Amino acid sequence: MPKNFMMPSSLEPYKEIGDPRAHIKKFQSMMFFNSANNELVLCRAFHTYLDGAALLWFSKLSAGSISSFEELARSFIDYFATVQIYVHGSDYLGTIRQGPQESIKDYMTRFAEPTIEIPNLDPAVHLHTLKAGLRPGKFWETIAVTKPKTLEEFRERAAGQMEIEELREAKRIERKQPRKEEDRTIRLTNNKEARKPFKLTPKSDNYTRFNTKRENIIKEILNAKIIKPPAQAGSYQDQRFVDRNKHCAFHQRYGHTTDECVIPKDLLERLARQGLLDEYIEGRKHKENGRDREERQQTSGSKEDNKWPNTTPPKEIINCISGGFAGGGETISA
Of the listed ranges 94-103, 107-116, 118-127, 277-286, the least confidently predicted one is 277-286
Q: Which CATH number fits domain 90-194: 3.40.30, 2.40.50, 1.10.1200, 3.30.2010?
A: 1.10.1200
The pair phi, psi for residue 121, each rounded to 5°, is: -70, 125
pLDDT score of 307: 45
pLDDT score of 153: 92
Pairwise CA distance, residues 74 & 65, whole Å: 13
Residue-wise pLDDT tens digits, 291-328: 455 555 555 544 444 444 444 555 555 555 444 444 34
**Average model confidence (pLDDT) for the chain?**
75
The answer to whether the CB of 327 falls within 8 A of the CB of 198 is: yes
The pair phi, psi for residue 50, each rounded to 5°, is: -125, 150
145-160 per-residue burial string, b: 16 or more CB within 10 A, e: under 16: eeebeeeeebeeebee
Pairwise CA distance, residues 247 & 263, whole Å: 14
More confident of the two residues 89 and 131: 131
Domain range summary for the chain, segments of one domain joined by +: 20-86, 90-194, 214-333
Instruction: Let me know how long the chain is.
Output: 334
Comparing C-alpha atoms, which of 150, 108, 104 is closest to residue 127? 150
Residue-wise pLDDT tens digits, 145-203: 999 999 999 999 999 999 999 998 888 888 877 666 666 667 766 665 545 554 556 66
Amino acid symbol at 280? Y
Beta-carbon contacts of residue 288 (< 8 Å; ≥ 6 apart): 279, 296, 309, 311, 312
DSSP label of 258: T
Residue-wise pLDDT tens digits, 216-226: 888 888 887 77
Q: pLDDT category, 332, cuts 50, 70, 90?
A: very low
Pairwise CA distance, residues 74 & 300, whole Å: 111
DSSP string, 34-78: TT---HHHHHHHHGGGB-THHHHHHHTSPTT---SHHHHHHHHHH
